[in-house]
Homo-oligomer: A and B are copies of this chain.
Amino acid sequence: MAVLESRWSTRRREKGRRLEQLGITGSSKVVDAWCIDDVLATLIQPGDRVSIEGDNQKQADFLAGALAQADPERLHDLHLLISSVSLPVHLDIFERGVASRLDLAFAGPQSLRLAQLVEDKVVTIGAIHTYVELYARMFVDLPPTVALLCAEGADEDGNLYTGANTEDTPTIAEATAFHDGIVIVQVNKIVDTLPRVDIPGDWVDVVVVSPKPYKLEPLFTRDPGKIGRVEILKAMLAIRGVYERHEIVSLNHGIGLDTAAIELILPTYGEELNLRGRIARNWVLNPHPTLIPAIESGWVESVHCFGGEPGMERYVAARPDVFFTGRDGSLRSNRVLAQLAGQYAIDMFIGSSLQIDGDGNSSTVTAGRLAGFGGAPNMGHDPHGRRHGSAAWLDLASGEGANRRGRKLVVQLVETFKAGGTPTFVDRLDAVDVGEQAGMPLPPVMIYGDDVSHVVTEEGVAYLYKADSIEERREAIAAVAGATPIGLRHDPQVTERLRRDGVVALPEDLGVDVRRADRSLLAAKSVGDLQAWSGGLYDPPARFRNF
């Protein structure tokens, strides 16, 4: 190695200085949990950019908690990068004056408190991203000075085993380790030999055994017991009007009872329609328990996962032909690669939304909540950088000559009204006002109307990609918007014309018998049924053991 001039290696020298001060330049990378306060006080300095692993599911909660205990006289003005601000302690770090600036992707359960802290000027938000955007910036203008990560286990050399929830760890570790940042990892245990290596020890500076296992949320478990007739009707409409019609082979499902209903009627309704093997073969999604009956019935060829799901460990390990797993048998997930697959390699993204406006723009941001985006905008748009064809993608092709191109299906699957009688279709998204109040440069829209190809409601299917003007798109949305303010404005004569032109389809147009929409179509009616389908391999988390 050439002798480094100090003016070109400030990051490396500073990293070396801090590690030396801590005294772990030697052999083992493992430090004791009781000295974590000293470790953080030595390795983190005021003004640092610190990435805390707050993923969609797993949380570096011990390290986040320790950072919240830091002395704000010594440690302050940190700039935090947290993809999912999920824990109260994430915001405690700001309230205690240790951090002041935040870049994030999602803030589900903390969204109300975050909005308040922004208004109180305790938190300054850099930007709200999608997951992959935030990681992308770690390689451009936001490389972390320090990363606080988590894993299942480590060996003395710092090699890491993540088990099923690899999630975001390799990406944050790479951005930090290869730009002379400091990588600190909390693990559940230290072992001599890891079941497999997910991240080389080479990329890790300090390992600490957390007093308790890291927190992991079962975000993707939906109880079939909660699925009713309306969800089943929508599922039938989606299968006939979208999956069958466009031959959807590869897909992502968002979280929710609507998509869970689709998963659960594939082995019944889908089988009747003779669709097994023709649709829904290749999936990009977390290991949804409600997918078990379809897997066991031979519908599913492959599933690549963003993360894991508590309780699905033994089932996934027993189905390696379907899931991506390691030598040790357990799932290997990877959020960046699954997002890439979900953006570029699948025919369809289908998901729900809390609000849709007359133009088809949608958002899950509602009054007073800075909820963020997660991964939906990345997968829920038509990627202009895609160049390979598939039957579904080409089925939506338009344009002539050099302008001809295919299109990804982006499907919104919603009920016209939500529980409590709140309309889903609204004149103005709450997101517009939330964005203004929070001083955001643009409204936090989740999916743009012109990217949406289909809207499915209990009323029918709107084929927005066929609309030849923004007016016709609005008319098609209104036609399936039921008795909401948007729906009430629809003109029955226009709807008839749209049906004739194939821009809108009602249940009878799709051969869907509304009377059959009941729970008898569900391949599993309870969490217990899912467990039975799995042959006892699925272990539902305690909160779902209600059968």
Contacts from A to B (Cβ < 8 Å): 1-2, 4-5, 8-12, 103, 126-130, 132-137, 139-141, 143, 159, 171, 174-175, 177-180, 196-202, 249-250, 281-282, 284, 301-302, 304, 314, 317-322, 324-329, 332, 334, 336-338, 340-341, 343-346, 357, 359, 361, 363, 373, 377-389, 394, 397, 401-406, 428-429, 431-432, 441-445, 448-449, 451, 537
When distances are taken between beta carbons in the complex, the residues of chain B under 8 Å from A389 are 127, 441-442
A321 to B381, CA, bound (A): 36
| Contact between B2 and A318, CB atoms less than 8 A apart | yes
User: Within the complex, what minimum Cβ distance (angstroms) separates A299 from chain B?
Assistant: 14
Residue of B nearest to A337 (CB): B139
Q: Are A388 and B202 in contact (CB under 8 A)?
A: no
A88 and B416 CA atoms in complex are apart in Å by: 59
A380 contacts which chain B residues (CB < 8 A)?
Answer: 385
- Contact between B402 and A133, CB atoms less than 8 A apart: no
Q: Return the contact of A442 from the options B383, B405, B428 (Cβ within 8 A).
A: B405
Give the residues in chain B near A326, CB-CB below 8 Å. 177-178, 202
- Which single residue of chain B is at the shortest CB-CB distance from A205? B327
Q: Which residues of B contact A346 (CB under 8 A)?
A: 140
Distance (whole angstroms) from the CB of A301 to the closest CB of chain B? 8
- How far apart sit A332 and B341, CA to CA, in the bound complex (Å)? 23
19 A-B pairs (CB sep. < 8 Å):
A4-B318, A10-B321, A127-B387, A133-B345, A137-B345, A141-B250, A174-B332, A178-B325, A178-B326, A179-B302, A180-B325, A381-B383, A381-B385, A383-B383, A384-B448, A389-B441, A401-B428, A402-B428, A404-B442
Query: Are A140 and B282 in contact (CB-based, < 8 A)?
Result: yes
- Contact flag A340-B404 (CB < 8 Å), given A200-B197, A320-B4: no
A449 to chain B, nearest CB (A): 7
